Structure 1
């Protein structure tokens, strides 16, 4: 696993230190939920997205490189993923998965198969 999957693209508009909790999350083809938790630590940046009971009813871990744009005005995060990718992603449980490196590797592998990571900037 390389660190770039867990790093925000410099062109995404993400500003380190910005509290993204509660921000709206948009996949390439529609709304998928809100940020429940996030990290912008170097080489360990991610979003935990609560998809809400009315969409998929689970939380998912999304590597920071999937973020294509952060709209600071609208408090919205745009991803280079489609709703189906997020819907089918493994469920995230912070108690079990937050410090689990193997789980993180599985997440990267999941998104690679369903939309390969491009060389450091976003998931397509």
Structure 2
């Protein structure tokens, strides 16, 4: 996936940014990673902040919406095309200030854009 596309939902999702995804569970290709704490849809670099709970020592991760493979509104579940290890290895997210830092977002975009393409489980 190109870095440009990493910040946009795939066209088949019918504008999910109009829906509040807060609280949705997030599933990697090999298991649960956490739940959406908040989402950013207005910056042009759309992303989800996912609270990983105890899985990654209470850390949150920033996940660009370009890796979203599915959104099930009924079960409140989002699937992504990454593995748990890939998400755990992504550039660290510490504060909301980073969501406004072009250098940080470029690093995140390059990381996720460089992952091998795969389909969700």
Q: TM-score, normalised by structure 1?
A: 0.82
The residue aligned with 1:56 is: 56
Structure 2 portions without partners, runs of 5+: none
Deviations 1:42-68 (A, max 9, x none): 73211111111x201211111110001
**Aligned-CA RMSD value:** 2.4
Q: CA-to-partner distance for each residue in 1:61-88, whole Å, 9 max, x for gaps?
A: 1111000100111000000000000111
Q: Which residue of 2 aligns with 1:90?
A: 91
Name 1:18's counterpart in structure 2.
19
Within-5 A mapping of 1:1-124? 2-12=3-13, 15-41=16-42, 43-52=44-53, 54-57=54-57, 58-113=59-114, 115-116=115-116
Aligned residues: 118
Q: Does the aligned pair in 1 maintain the 2:81–2:117 contact within 8 Å? A: no
Q: Deviations over 1:76-123 (max 9, x none)?
A: 00000000001112221234301001001101122234x1469xxx99
Q: Is the 8 A contact 1:70 1:77 kept in 2?
A: yes
Q: Which runs of 4+ in 1 moved over 4 A?
A: none
Give the TM-score normalised by the residue count of structure 2. Answer: 0.84
